[in-house]
Structure 1
């Protein structure tokens, strides 16, 4: 993250000799980077503090525990995403609802490689953290589009698949927008404008949704 981070005094430890710590937004962004790069178990409170440039007691002083800090990091990153996903407008065509949801999701995730890595790592582990992600973010996000996909499948306008398959068909391709090292090796330009990234997100959304809305012969019967 470029630029000099703003700082604040440590809560509860005033005085000229008190170490300065990054502002809350910077703390949470650096925390996201650390959890993504190290994984939860390897991201000890001491290592987190080292990466934040703060006292080794900072995590417990500010958040109470490493687990609480992880939840704060996730809430800051995913909370902003979910609130940007617009609910379906009553009377909207279900195909339009699905297309808008997928397109918005991909656009929102542009430039979020650390969040994608964290989600992929936590999704492979049967933990209370995964329960937290599902309860607070994954399920609410799916609820925005699930009724439309169910009606499309029932009418034969969408491939009929279980919800878990549908979830991975929609969500997993977002890695193609954020895994820059591999993407560059596959021909992506090193420097792209935001407009070019949005165009790639839209192209990916079209590819995914058009595939879902192309029922097989078995689906038509």
Structure 2
């Protein structure tokens, strides 16, 4: 797609908008991550997209369907980042590599984690959607490795939900920048520093989960 204005047809309406689909979904993610779903009104979305207040409903059918389109696009990109080929690695190194990539992805696209963190405290259809399509598939890829590490004594036996939060929770350090600034982080946190922070966090977490790792 180009950034030129173009027409999209939904039903009998022709919708002209100057943003690409990727830009629309990116701004949608920014808005939902910043305000939360309930506080994000269709009118506010229209203001940020610089379109008419009917745009979201005309093109996507509803705010809820737009939210799903936003999440699908963001998670598709995140999934591609996490699917980098690692090769045949021992379980310990496989877990370390997966967790490191997860933190790197969080540092590169923090709005995804902000959105998931916000939705995770609400028992809703949106959380069901996130869990079914993204959280559980991600965890299903890690769980067998964790189980083998526990079975061989290389990881302390712990409830699986606690292990999940021990792995994913520290990603908040990559995404909650306003608090991090107040704790002393530089406001000029650049790409290289994000990468270094992700690796440092992975090493810190892995020292706790894999105490016998050399």
SS of alignment partner, residue 5 of structure 2: strand
Question: Is the CA contact 1:10–1:21 (under 8 Å) kept in the aligned structure 2?
Answer: no
Shift, 1:42, TM fit: 2.0
- Is it true that 1:94 corresponds to 2:130 in the alignment? no
- Is it true that 1:81 corresponds to 2:78 in the alignment? yes
- One of 104, 107, 116 as aligned partner of 1:119: 116
Partner of 2:21: 24
Rate the CA distance shift 1:209–1:49 in 2: closer, same or farther, 3 A.
same
Shift, 1:147, TM fit: 0.6
Shift, 1:89, TM fit: 6.0
In 2, Cα distance between equivalents of 1:43 and 1:194: 29
Partner of 1:172: 169
Deviations 1:52-94 (A, max 9, x none): 1101111111111111100010011111112222388675311
Rate the CA distance shift 1:90–1:37 in 2: closer, same or farther, 3 A.
closer
In 1, Cα distance between equivalents of 2:22 and 2:86: 32
Rate the CA distance shift 1:89–1:185 in 2: closer, same or farther, 3 A.
closer
- Is it true that 1:208 corresponds to 2:205 in the alignment? yes
In 2, Cα distance between equivalents of 1:86 and 1:117: 21
- Is it true that 1:50 corresponds to 2:50 in the alignment? no
In 1, Cα distance between equivalents of 2:165 and 2:67: 24
Aligned residues: 208
SS of alignment partner, residue 145 of structure 1: helix
RMSD over equivalenced CA pairs, Å:
2.1
Shift, 1:47, TM fit: 2.1
Shift, 1:142, TM fit: 1.1
In 1, Cα distance between equivalents of 2:82 and 2:112: 16
Rate the CA distance shift 1:87–1:131 in 2: closer, same or farther, 3 A.
farther
Give the TM-score, by structure 1 length: 0.86
In 1, Cα distance between equivalents of 2:178 and 2:35: 18
In 1, Cα distance between equivalents of 2:27 and 2:53: 15
Runs of 5+ consecutive residues of structure 1 not aligned to the other structure: 216-221
Shift, 1:44, TM fit: 2.1
Question: Is the CA contact 2:114–2:175 (under 8 Å) kept in the aligned structure 1?
Answer: no
Shift, 1:126, TM fit: 0.8
Rate the CA distance shift 1:90–1:151 in 2: closer, same or farther, 3 A.
farther
Runs of 5+ consecutive residues of structure 2 not aligned to the other structure: none
